[in-house]
Amino acid sequence: MTNNTEKEKIAGLIRNARLSKGYSQQQLADLAQLNLRSVQRIEKAEVLPRAYNLNLLAKQLDLDLDALGFSNDLQKATLLNSAPVGRQAGKTGKLIFSVTTGLLTFLLTAAFLSQSSDFPETSFELFLLLAFVVALYGAMLWRIWKR
């Protein structure tokens, strides 16, 4: 169970720091790359922010993590190094998607080659097709993994 006084303490610190900087909630949300509703819920003490979100807000508001009650070095390290859950799970998802897409690309290319009686006429055409498929797959992987 979450401690209400902790939520209220953090809510007050975030709200006061935001107001002293002259930011609206929307401006703070944009700067921290958070949803406006998340900032609103944090400032109303409806939720205890995740470590990652709290770190983003603290950076934008120039807040010292000690002022937020994170005086323990282990807590600070966890707060600074934590990634959102979606990004941690995202690597696994990207890997599964990459392997699945590679296998699917291989099978579709093989199906195309097996159904065509007159393609490829030469080994050059075969290598050209394979080069195109590899380049397309590489570009797709680059787009998936650059995020």
pLDDT at 89: 53
Which residues of the chain fall below pLDDT 50? Answer: 1, 71-75, 77-81, 85-86
Asked if residues 29 and 36 have their Cβ atoms less than 8 Å apart, the reply is yes
Q: What is the pLDDT of residue 27?
A: 95
Global confidence as pTM? 0.48
Query: Given this model, what pLDDT does residue 88 score?
Result: 53
**pLDDT at residue 98, rounded to an integer:** 93
Computed from CA positions of residues 147, 101, 85, 34, in that sequence, does the dihedral angle turn out positive or negative?
Answer: positive
Cα torsion at 98, 104, 107, 110 (round to 10°)?
A: -80
Q: Give per-residue pLDDT as tens, 6-24.
A: 889 889 999 999 999 999 9
